[in-house]
Structure 1
């Protein structure tokens, strides 16, 4: 999985995706999800273990998670409710917001 963390004026933004999702575009009816190198990859992204992904998500104020494995890790860790996960073709997407 690829993990990227960055500070924004609103707090820490974390993006996580399965490595094989990077550069892909998924559709679900009229909704499109593009897993861009600019947002999920780039110089700030690192290959991460499950434990590193969970730690990164716990540090986030906002997170975007794409991929069957990455979303599964977030769900199993109790950070994302399975009922809020979106299905896009052969992948999954979830967002996390700590208030």
Structure 2
């Protein structure tokens, strides 16, 4: 997986994606999602590093089956809130 962390005025923004979705575009009739290098590109990360980043995130965008399923398994995302976009999964986390 790939993790990109950046500080914003709203807090820590974490973008996580599976390596194989970086640079891809996924679509449904209502949604088009492009996993850009600019937003999602970052460092390769194992599951522990992804969990650590998500635990510290104020906002997170997560794309890819492996990344989203890890976020669900670790309790960051409720499965009912996951979007299936084309052949991949997408979820967002907002801590208030």
**What's the TM-score bracket when you normalise by the shorter of the two chains?**
over 0.9
1:71: which partner in 2? 68
Aligned to 2:82: 85
Residue in structure 1 matched with residue 53 of structure 2 by the alignment: 56
1:6-31 Cα deviation digits (max 9, x unpaired): 10011000000000100000001121
**Matches of 2:81 and 2:50 in 1, distance apart?**
19
Q: Secondary structure at the match of 2:75?
A: coil
Structure 1 segments of 4+ aligned residues over 2 angstroms from their partners: none
**TM-score for the superposition, normalised by structure 1:** 0.95
- What secondary structure does 1:30 align onto? coil
Residue ranges of structure 2 left out of the alignment (5+ in a row): none
Distance 2:76 2:69 in 1: 10
Deviation at 1:81, TM superposition (A): 0.1
Unaligned runs of at least 5 residues, structure 1: none
